[in-house]
Chains A and B, each alone.
Chain A
């Protein structure tokens, strides 16, 4: 019971992007995933990538409002990592038989499908931003992601006043939208 409530708290922390909670999850489960990957023709770097992706899958899941894991956190993470690694192996075309099932696993295909869609959105947005170029990229980041005020931004970016910054931001946003919609297609 205690672990369940603890895990519940950790998940809530994760949803809020709370560093402490993420650190705890990382510390508790990373080694298990690493041995899974290393035992199945992977490198430590692969283990890191796979584990972090699994955390993002988990994050998206709790973000979308379902804190309910119908299994232990460990089992969930393990299952996600196993599926992710299987997929990666087939992409890399490394000669490999089925990944050894060291732990019990639960079906996570649905979550991963959702994740893939979101990941695609993420990539599109990232590419759009990269394409936008400076200073637009930083300007958009500062305002929409870091949620800085226009006054701050004007000071940081050296605009004479916040209205000027707002104008610049507007132009950047329009361009980003255009690029984004092009990539979307």
Chain B
């Protein structure tokens, strides 16, 4: 074939395989016939590319081979990091981004929640027990030194009473109610009013209602047959007039106010909020309505508002007593307790506050002094 022969000639010419005469003839042919010349140029280029392809292809094969061989011989690191490491390396940025997004989202959500939720003061309610100062202690020592110390069960040395509150009788036989936080941790408790100072025993402390029940156990204490006031089992009405008598000082202090909210600190349904003046030492103070019925027991004040005082609802007293009466182990320690009678009705209804109510109530209210 003509074409086959021609291409063969071109290839031999490119490779320089031609004999001199043949070459001279071919070059002459190239000069005279442009299509031959074009074929030579084109074919040269093509062969070059084919050649390059061949070389690179060979190199690639060789490299793959070398890689295998070197890996087998251990001359290059076979470096196979563990899957965890590889995954970590591959995804650490993704993980980082995801974690930051999660973190930011969490922060935003908690921020939103705290922004949108009603503002609640994180401060605690202020308890109104008081610290007894040195002056008062001295006074107490004098008093206790003067008192005849008969049938002593207590060390002769005068006791340092460190804190105090107020308590009030719920039974003429000497049962008193005060706040749990007034006598909490105390081992020795005394009660005192204008009639004298008496030793008392803690019968029960209920931290849930913040109420404590004490009993005066002192030979010099004369039991009263009937209390002038009653302990209300009902609810006080919003706006109802109230008054308190307590011992923020060593003298009894009278105060007057009204029910300002149906619930106590942070919506506490066991208590009321009342508005009147109260001081440290007023903890345990009974809150009376206009008929002289105890409707509550002062136990604290709002930390950030003036005159916002909280009082435990009086019906909690009944609850505490019922709990104690159900406790047979406790009943063995106090034989009188079964006969405890809490008056529900006040004798002071319709009486004049200054002339009758206050003087009658006064004797039933005591300073409660605790050694802790």
Interface size of B in residues (CB-CB distance below 8 Å) = 39
Q: Is B7 part of the binding interface, using a Cβ–Cβ cutoff of 8 Å?
A: yes
Contact partner of A122 (CB less than 8 A), chosen from B47, B56, B76, B79, is: B56
Contact partner of A144 (CB less than 8 A), chosen from B50, B66, B80, is: B50
Measured between alpha carbons, how far is A173 from B3 in the docked complex, in Å? 12
Contact partner of B67 (CB less than 8 A), chosen from A52, A129, A140, A173, is: A52
Q: Give the interface size class of chain A.
A: 35 or more
Q: Is A56 part of the binding interface, using a Cβ–Cβ cutoff of 8 Å?
A: yes
Q: Is A74 part of the binding interface, using a Cβ–Cβ cutoff of 8 Å?
A: no
Measured between alpha carbons, how far is A145 from B48 in the docked complex, in Å? 11
Add 14 more A-B contacts to A22-B66, A26-B66 (CB < 8 A). A19-B62, A19-B66, A22-B59, A26-B67, A26-B76, A30-B67, A30-B76, A31-B77, A41-B89, A52-B63, A95-B94, A125-B53, A145-B50, A170-B3
Name the CB-closest residue of B to A47.
Answer: B79
Pairwise interchain contact A166-B76, C-beta atoms closer than 8 A? no
Q: Is A177 part of the binding interface, using a Cβ–Cβ cutoff of 8 Å?
A: yes
Q: Is B86 part of the binding interface, using a Cβ–Cβ cutoff of 8 Å?
A: yes
Q: Is A121 part of the binding interface, using a Cβ–Cβ cutoff of 8 Å?
A: yes
- Minimum C-beta distance from A51 to chain B (A): 8
Q: Mark A7-33, 1 if CB is under 8 A from B, else 0.
A: 000000000010100110011001100
Pairwise interchain contact B59-A56, C-beta atoms closer than 8 A? yes
9 CB contacts below 8 A, A to B, read A17-B58, A19-B66, A22-B63, A26-B67, A34-B76, A44-B79, A56-B63, A122-B56, A144-B54
Q: Is B46 part of the binding interface, using a Cβ–Cβ cutoff of 8 Å?
A: yes
Pairwise interchain contact B90-A145, C-beta atoms closer than 8 A? no
Measured between alpha carbons, how far is A141 from B64 in the docked complex, in Å? 19
Measured between alpha carbons, how far is A30 from B75 in the docked complex, in Å? 10
Residues of chain A with a CB closer than 8 A to B47's CB: 144
Also in contact, A27 and B70, with CB within 8 A (given A55-B63, A145-B54, A170-B7): yes
Most buried by B among A19, A30, A35: A30
- Minimum C-beta distance from A15 to chain B (A): 10
Residues of chain A with a CB closer than 8 A to B50's CB: 125, 140, 144-145
Measured between alpha carbons, how far is A63 from B56 in the docked complex, in Å? 11
Also in contact, A122 and B59, with CB within 8 A (given A144-B47, A170-B3): no
Residues of chain A with a CB closer than 8 A to B64's CB: 52
Measured between alpha carbons, how far is A129 from B56 in the docked complex, in Å? 14
Chain B residues 69-94 with CB under 8 Å of chain A are: 69-70, 75-81, 86, 89-90, 93-94
Measured between alpha carbons, how far is A173 from B94 in the docked complex, in Å? 52
Interface residues of B (CB under 8 A from A): 1, 3-4, 7-8, 46-47, 49-60, 62-64, 66-67, 69-70, 75-81, 86, 89-90, 93-94, 97
Q: Is A126 part of the binding interface, using a Cβ–Cβ cutoff of 8 Å?
A: yes
Name the CB-closest residue of B to A44.
Answer: B79
Measured between alpha carbons, how far is A38 from B89 in the docked complex, in Å? 8
Residues of chain B with a CB closer than 8 A to A44's CB: 78-80
Contact partner of A95 (CB less than 8 A), chosen from B52, B63, B78, B93, is: B93
Q: Is A48 part of the binding interface, using a Cβ–Cβ cutoff of 8 Å?
A: yes
Pairwise interchain contact A170-B4, C-beta atoms closer than 8 A? yes
Also in contact, A26 and B63, with CB within 8 A (given A41-B90, A125-B53): yes
- Minimum C-beta distance from A24 to chain B (A): 10
Name the CB-closest residue of B to A19.
Answer: B62
- Minimum C-beta distance from B17 to chain A (A): 12
Pairwise interchain contact A177-B49, C-beta atoms closer than 8 A? no
Measured between alpha carbons, how far is A140 from B11 in the docked complex, in Å? 14
- Minimum C-beta distance from A16 to chain B (A): 10
Measured between alpha carbons, how far is A41 from B95 in the docked complex, in Å? 14
Residues of chain B with a CB closer than 8 A to A48's CB: 67
Q: Which 4 A-B pairs have the closest CB atoms?
A: A145-B54, A125-B53, A52-B63, A30-B76
Measured between alpha carbons, how far is A43 from B4 in the docked complex, in Å? 51
Residues of chain B with a CB closer than 8 A to A140's CB: 50
Residues of chain A with a CB closer than 8 A to B53's CB: 121-122, 125-126, 129, 145
